[in-house]
Amino acid sequence: MLRINTLGGYFHEYQKSVSNPEDFWSDIAQTFYWRKKWDTTLEWNFEEPKVEWFKGGKLNITENIFERRMFTHADRPAIIWESNSPDEPSITLTYKQLHEKVCQFANVLLKNGVQKGDRVAIYLPMLPEATIAMLACARVGAVHSVVFAGFSANSLSDRIIDAECKLVLTSDGSYRGGKNIGIKTIVDEALERCPTVEKVIVLKRTGEAINMTPGRDVWWHDETEGVSTENKAQEMDSEDMLFILYTSGSTGKPKGVVHTTGGYMVYTQYTFENVFQIDAGDIYWCSADIGWITGHSYIVYGPLLSGSTVVMFEGIPTYPHVGRFWEIIEKHKVTHFYTAPTAIRSLQASGLDPVTPFNLSSLKVLGTVGEPINVEAWQWYHTHIGKGKCPIVDTWWQTETGGMMISPIAGITPTKPAYATLPLPGIQPILVDSEGKELKGNGVEGNLCIKFPWPSMLRTTYGDHERCRQTYFSTYKGLYFTGDGVKRDEDGYYRILGRVDDVINVSGHRLGTAEVENAINEHPLVNESAVVGYPHDIKGQGIYAYVVLEKDGQSHDKDAMKSSIISTVNKIIGPIAKPDKILIVSGLPKTRSGKIMRRILRKIAEGDGSNLGDITTLLNPEVVEEIKVGAGL
Ligand code: WT7
């Protein structure tokens, strides 16, 4: 794999990737194992949109993880798994062992009727079996749809229904800190409205008593018993679907972002190796959950394609103590650590006492992802975790981009706190103003778009191509619109400013304000609501909900109403969407055409009751004063 070693080398590669993208990516793609070489490197237009990379190429991504490297990598550790409990021994799987388990489980999928193109939902805790499940799907050509195991039954069933999944892979329960979550019970509830699901394969983790529906539910250990560990991988076209991953947008229900095989493979390995500057023997740990794109691209595919060793952690940063992350780094001699700013901020808030007992000298590179990192958190991470010697890669990307887009190359790109710095090779960012006019040169701020395709970009949104076009390709003609605002400073460095649409980023989790409003509105005593983000010290953004109650609700105790609204949101989306603040109001500020004036609500949520602009044209200007008072302004 082509490896960037110097800043000059980066500029050289970048130039090549822009002046001749097809040659640039062909050279990289050639280092993979293709059963048949592709016919065309790239076909695209951003109008439909249509994007096809390495079309006609035949391959299986798991052959590129396993068979391609078996001669040299068989005994290398692939996964080092760390339990939720420090008392439970960790598990190491070598590439050979992982290969056998993936092949065996691929055979189990086949035995259970899974065929190429079928969709399989994965709702599992952070266990090696989650990786095995994903790779086994890829092995047989099934499309995995991983659902974060913190989502509610309702969110799970929405996703299963949308993708028409045939099979669900799950566990009896899941350990998260001091809690034991009944995963299977959630699946049972979800499946009450999922007619397409024929089978559920259940992994035993907690050993608690669960319901097993005869004819539908089978045990993972029973199914694998005596099954061959050899499996011939299904042949896929480069543009065959690899997976669907649901993500929130500014409107409607979460959409299924579709990634395909060849381009995603090439791009995730390329960016993983270059951004992190991974060498043989390194121990890489990404603390994300496999339910998010970070887990897909940089716990599973990127690292394993590159033959690296990945630490996988079942638990949470604060259990059984707030130094757990640092303890794990010492225990496994982690060299590369990749986490979210929200985790850094919350651990920073606990001070240095939990950090100092641990030896962090193995660390070489630190990374962050998911939300803007503030300068203080960046400095703390750099000084106290990296001891001033580890470069930080602040990687900007999205579920839709499949891989990192704007990021330093560790130790090579000079960094600036809070800046994602420069685009990676192959990425052509462009800033536009609200009219879509390009903002050229440096020292500008605008909406971040990408003007040329890269191999791991989304191809469609599952079952609704028009929605994909509308959401990403229609705002600015001929451009992919990211939804983010960005500043390009005098040095040409990029700083991500945050979302400019109705998407909020809470602890690095992406939520649509409309999605949270719809959940709140499900409460029988709620008439309507408006949700906005506000700055939150730890979470980056918090959720502020303005709620108008039905007449019958107005006589209820306000605190009781608030907690009952929170449980509604937990039930409909999951605990990650629970509002931090709820303000019960008698009305929402609206324009004469009935549109909620979110700008005003955002200002108030930020704690700024002045400069609300002209409110005299509102339908109901009087509620603004009431809301201000309610918010303590
Ligand atoms: C949104 C995408 C990419 C994996 C995790 C999130 C924000 C992501 C950064 C960063 C500032 C960032 C953006 C983006 N974001 N990385 N380094 N600096 N903001 O994936 O759930 O699809 O969310 O996260 O707003 O649009 P996602």
Residue 499: per-residue pLDDT: 95
- pLDDT at position 222, please? 98
Q: Whose CA is nearest to atom 2 of ligand 1?
A: 398
Q: Check pocket membership of 398 for ligand 1, CB cut-off 6 A.
A: yes
Q: Whose CA is nearest to atom 10 of ligand 1?
A: 396
Q: Say if residues 356 and 383 touch (Cβ distance below 8 Å).
A: no
Percent over 70 (pLDDT), the chain: 100
HSE-up of residue 367 (Cα within 13 Å, Cβ side): 30
The confidence score (pLDDT) of residue 523 equals: 97
Mean pLDDT to the nearest integer, 475-496: 98
- Could you report how far apart the first and last alpha carbons of the chain are, in Å? 57
- Residue 474, Cβ density class (10 Å: 0-12 exposed, 13-18 middle, ≥19 buried): middle
Q: Best mutation site among 245, 259, 394, 396 for ligand 1, i.e. most ligand atoms within 8 A of its Cβ?
A: 396
- Ligand 1 centroid distance, CA of 252 (Å): 20
Q: State the average pLDDT over residues 79-84.
A: 98
387 Cβ neighbours under 8 A, 6+ residues apart: 360, 361, 363
Determine the average pLDDT of the residues in 39-60: 98
How far is CA 503 from each of CA 119, 240, 250, 533, rounded to the nearest angstrom?
A: 27, 30, 5, 8
Is the distance from the beta carbon of residue 371 to the nearest atom of ligand 1 less than 6 Å?
yes
Could you list the beta-strand ranges (E) of 105-191: 119-123, 143-146, 167-171, 174-176, 179-181
Centroid of ligand 1 to alpha carbon of 394 (angstroms): 10
Distance in Å, CA 586 to ligand 1 centroid: 35
Give the per-residue pLDDT at 251: 85
397: CA distance to ligand 1 center in Å? 5
- In this model, does residue 614 exceed pLDDT 90? no
**Atom number of ligand 1 nearest to Cα 288:** 5
Question: What is the tens place of the pLDDT at every residue in 288-328?
Answer: 999 999 999 999 999 999 999 999 999 999 999 999 999 99
How far apart are the CA of 292 and the centre of ligand 1, in A? 11
Q: Could you tell me the pLDDT band of residue 224, with boundaries at 50, 70 and 90?
A: very high
For 183-308, list the strands marked E by DSSP. 199-203, 217-219, 236-237, 241-247, 255-260, 283-286
Asked if pLDDT for residue 23 goes beyond 80, the answer is: yes
Residue having the nearest C-alpha atom to atom 8 of ligand 1: 370
The response to whether residue 399 sits with its C-beta less than 6 Å from ligand 1 reads: yes
Residue whose structure tokens are 């998010």:
292
Would you say 449 and 317 are in contact if contact means Cβ atoms under 8 Å apart?
no
Residue 140 confidence class, pLDDT cut points 50, 70, 90: very high
Tens of pLDDT, residues 595-613: 999 999 999 999 999 888 8
Task: Kindly report the protein residue whose alpha carbon is nearest to atom 21 of ligand 1.
Answer: 510
Other beta carbons within 10 angstroms of residue 397's beta carbon come to 24
Taking CA atoms only, the protein residue closest to ligand 1 atom 12 is 371
Q: Please answer whether residues 257 and 247 qualify as being in contact, where contact means their C-beta atoms are separated by less than 8 angstroms.
A: yes
Ligand 1 lined by 501 (C-beta under 6 Å): no
353-368 pLDDT, tens digit per residue, is 999 999 999 999 999 9
Distance 506 CA to ligand 1 centre (A): 11
Please give the distance, rounded to the nearest whole angstrom, from the Cα atom of residue 65 to the centre of ligand 1: 27
295 exposure class (CB count in 10 Å sphere: 0-12, 13-18, 19+): buried
The four Cα atoms 50, 256, 502, 620 give a dihedral, to 10 degrees, of 110
Distance CA 299, CA 82 (A): 14
- Output the CA 295–ligand 1 centroid distance in Å: 13
Nearest CA to ligand 1 atom 7: 371
- Answer yes or no: is the C-beta of 255 below 6 A from any ligand 1 atom: no
Domain residue extents for the chain: 503-630
Mean pLDDT of the chain: 97
By the 10 Å C-beta count (0-12 exposed, 13-18 middle, 19+ buried), 610 is classed as exposed
pLDDT of 2 reads: 82
Q: Compute the average pLDDT of residues 551-565.
A: 94
Q: How confident is the model at residue 461 (pLDDT cuts 50, 70, 90)?
A: very high
Whether the CB of 395 sits within 6 Å of ligand 1: yes
Q: Reply yes or no on whether the pLDDT at 1 is more than 80.
A: no
Q: Which residues contact 445 (CB under 8 A, 6 or more apart)?
A: 431, 439, 485, 486, 487, 488, 497
- 489 C-alpha to ligand 1 centroid (Å): 20
Return the minimum-mean-pLDDT range out of 306-310, 395-399, 551-555. Answer: 551-555
Given ligand 1 and candidates 392, 510, 513, which is best to mutate, with the most ligand atoms within 8 Å of its CB? 510
Query: CB of 370 closer than 6 A to ligand 1?
Result: yes
501, two tokens: 């649409």
When pLDDT is averaged across residues 332-339 and rounded to a whole number, the result is 98
Ligand 1 mean position to 346 CA, how many Å? 18
- The answer to whether 343 touches 112, Cβ cutoff 8 Å, is no
The reply to whether ligand 1 has any atom less than 6 angstroms from the CB of 512 is no
What is the pLDDT confidence band of residue 536, given thresholds at 50, 70 and 90? very high
In the reported structure, the alpha carbon of residue 84 is separated from the centroid of ligand 1 by a whole-number distance in angstroms of 26
The Å distance, Cα 191 to ligand 1 centre, comes to: 31
Residue of 259, 484, 506, 509 with the most ligand 1 atoms within 8 Å of its CB, for mutation: 484
**Three-state DSSP class for residue 210:** coil
∠ CA 341-342-343 to the nearest 5 degrees? 90
Cβ-based neighbours of 560, under 8 Å, separated by 6 or more:
none
Task: Quote the pLDDT of residue 252.
Answer: 84
Mean pLDDT on 369-375: 96
Report whether pLDDT(190) > 90.
Answer: yes
CATH superfamily of 503-630: ANL, C-terminal domain (3.30.300.30)
Q: Give pLDDT, residue 611.
A: 85
Q: Which atom of ligand 1 is nearest to the CA of 406?
A: 17
Residue 60 has pLDDT above 80, yes or no: yes
Percent with pLDDT over 90 in the chain: 97
